[in-house]
């Protein structure tokens, strides 16, 4: 599809396309040979050098284009259609193991952003301080906390099942627009968790990312998943970190409001205030124990996590809701029963 929309592959991989490519290749080399054999007494040295450079570059580009056409998936499909499977497989092998030039196709990987690692970063770390000093802190954070992961077949199968409705017993996508920044789905199999989807899109994603990462790192859950459903746990974590990657790096393609970066900053600041203390445990334990260590207004508002009074404490509110969601999932042993 990419080739058909953005390249001339449909023209190149036809009989007249092959003829044009052959004529172009032969013409370039013929011109180079004629210029090499011809007397160049009447030309200045710079003109000769430039002409050789142009003709040599044109020949190199034509050769590269021919090799790219030979190693394309179009050629693979053509050879396989004619029954030359061994040659088609050889081209496929060379394509995936020898070719280093990208051709615009999907890399089969997705971005990952570890928000908890970012929140728990060491502000005294030398490289980070140097990056801040030379005003490259944002670039350093992006390089340090943004990774890419290959999508496993489990992830693809899960997403495909979700889109075609095979997961309707767990998640139901409603036929409503989400342009206003709110979710268009409900957890049909786990009604106890639907409150977490009643917020704005970016806030729900952030809460679910923190809760998911925390849930998957609870020792009891982690050991049980390692025995029974390790691949599914990896798939869930990959999708969670991918959503955070989109929120952080590509917010323009998601239905959310402009103040999203301020929410990330406030959440990170609130987390860092707790993490900076002594004997607070692991980064994920901060989320699990957050409500135990916070002040009275959290206990006062704990009974209703959706009320408007939380707007006065956006960073703390996200962490409290992530904490509550983590405990709920652990108590339910979500997906483990």
Q: pLDDT tens string for the chain (337 positions)?
A: 566 666 677 777 788 888 888 899 999 999 999 888 888 777 888 888 999 999 999 999 999 888 888 877 788 788 888 888 888 888 777 776 665 445 556 667 888 988 888 887 776 777 777 877 787 777 777 777 888 888 888 888 888 887 777 766 666 655 444 444 445 556 656 677 777 777 787 888 888 999 999 988 888 888 877 777 788 888 888 889 998 888 888 877 776 666 677 888 888 888 877 665 554 567 788 788 776 666 555 555 555 555 556 567 778 888 888 888 888 888 876 454 4
DSSP secondary-structure letter at 83?
T
Residues 33 and 119 grouped into a single domain: no
pLDDT of residue 177: 46
Q: Is residue 237 part of a domain?
A: yes
Residues 156 and 268 grouped into a single domain: yes
Q: Are 270 and 281 in contact (CB under 8 A)?
A: no
Q: How far apart are the C-alpha atoms of 14 and 113, rounded to whole Å?
A: 44
Which residue, of 13, 41, 70, is where some domain finishes? 70
Which residue, of 40, 70, 100, is where some domain finishes? 70
Q: Are 297 and 313 in contact (CB under 8 A)?
A: yes
Q: Are 271 and 320 in contact (CB under 8 A)?
A: no
pLDDT of residue 277: 54
State pLDDT tens for residues 287-326.
887 766 665 555 555 555 555 565 677 788 888 888 888 8
Q: Is residue 81 part of a domain?
A: no
Beta strands in 23-117 (DSSP E): 109-113
Residues 117 and 53 grouped into a single domain: no
Q: Which domain holds residue 66?
A: 2-70
Residues 179 and 283 grouped into a single domain: yes
Q: How far apart are the C-alpha atoms of 167 and 234, rounded to whole Å?
A: 18
Which residue, of 70, 97, 125, is where some domain finishes? 70
Closest CA to 120 of 263, 325, 239, 276: 276
pLDDT of residue 29: 92
Long-range own/partner contacts, residues 145-148 (CB < 8 A, 24 or more apart): 145/113, 145/114, 145/115, 145/117, 145/118, 145/121, 146/111, 146/112, 146/113, 146/245, 146/248, 146/249, 147/111, 147/112, 147/113, 147/114, 148/107, 148/109, 148/110, 148/111, 148/112
Residue 240's contacts (CB-CB under 8 Å, 6 or more residues apart) are 208, 209, 212, 213
Residues 146 and 214 grouped into a single domain: yes
Residues 66 and 192 grouped into a single domain: no
Q: Is residue 98 part of a domain?
A: no
- As a whole-number percent, the residues of the chain with pLDDT over 70 amount to 75
Written as six digits, the tokens of 3 are 């080739």
Pairing verdict, β 146-150 and 109-113: antiparallel
For the entire predicted model, the pTM comes to: 0.64
pLDDT of residue 106: 67
Q: Is residue 87 part of a domain?
A: no
Residues 198 and 151 grouped into a single domain: yes
State pLDDT tens for residues 20-36.
888 999 999 999 998 88
Q: Is residue 89 part of a domain?
A: no
Residues 167 and 22 grouped into a single domain: no
Total of domains in the chain: 2
Q: Are 255 and 179 in contact (CB under 8 A)?
A: yes
């Amino acid at each position: 599809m990419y080739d058909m929309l953005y390249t001339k592959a449909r023209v190149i991989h036809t009989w007249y396309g092959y003829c044009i490519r052959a004529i172009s290749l032969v013409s370039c080399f013929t011109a180079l040979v004629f210029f090499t054999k011809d007397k160049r007494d009447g030309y200045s040295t710079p003109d000769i050098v430039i002409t050789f450079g142009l003709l040599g570059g044109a020949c190199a580009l034509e050769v590269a284009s021919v090799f790219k056409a030979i190693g394309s998936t179009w050629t693979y499909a053509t050879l396989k259609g004619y029954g030359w499977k061994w040659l088609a497989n050889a081209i496929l092998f060379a394509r995936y193991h020898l070719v280093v030039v990208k051709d615009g196709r999907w890399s089969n990987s997705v971005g990952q952003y570890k928000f908890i690692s970012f929140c728990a970063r060491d502000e005294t770390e030398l490289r980070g301080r140097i990056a801040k000093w030379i005003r490259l802190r944002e670039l350093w954070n992006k390089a340090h906390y943004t990774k890419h992961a290959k999508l496993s077949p489990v992830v693809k199968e899960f997403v495909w099942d979700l889109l075609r409705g095979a997961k309707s017993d767990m998640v139901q996508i409603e036929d409503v627009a989400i342009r206003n920044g709110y979710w268009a789905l409900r957890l049909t199999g786990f009604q106890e968790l639907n409150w977490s989807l009643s917020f704005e899109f970016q806030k729900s994603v952030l809460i679910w990312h923190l809760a998911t990462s925390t849930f998957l790192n609870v020792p009891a859950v982690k050991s049980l998943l390692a025995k029974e459903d390790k691949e599914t746990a990896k798939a869930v974590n990959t999708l969670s970190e991918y959503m955070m990657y989109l929120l952080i790096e590509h917010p323009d393609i998601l239905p959310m409001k402009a103040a999203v970066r301020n929410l990330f900053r406030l959440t990170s600041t609130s987390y860092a205030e707790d993490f900076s203390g002594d004997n607070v445990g692991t980064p994920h334990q901060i989320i699990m124990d957050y409500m135990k260590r916070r002040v009275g207004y959290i206990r006062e508002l704990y009974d209703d996590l959706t009320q408007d009074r939380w707007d006065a404490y956006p960073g703390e509110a996200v962490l409290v809701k992530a904490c509550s969601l983590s405990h709920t999932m652990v108590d339910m042993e979500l997906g483990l029963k």
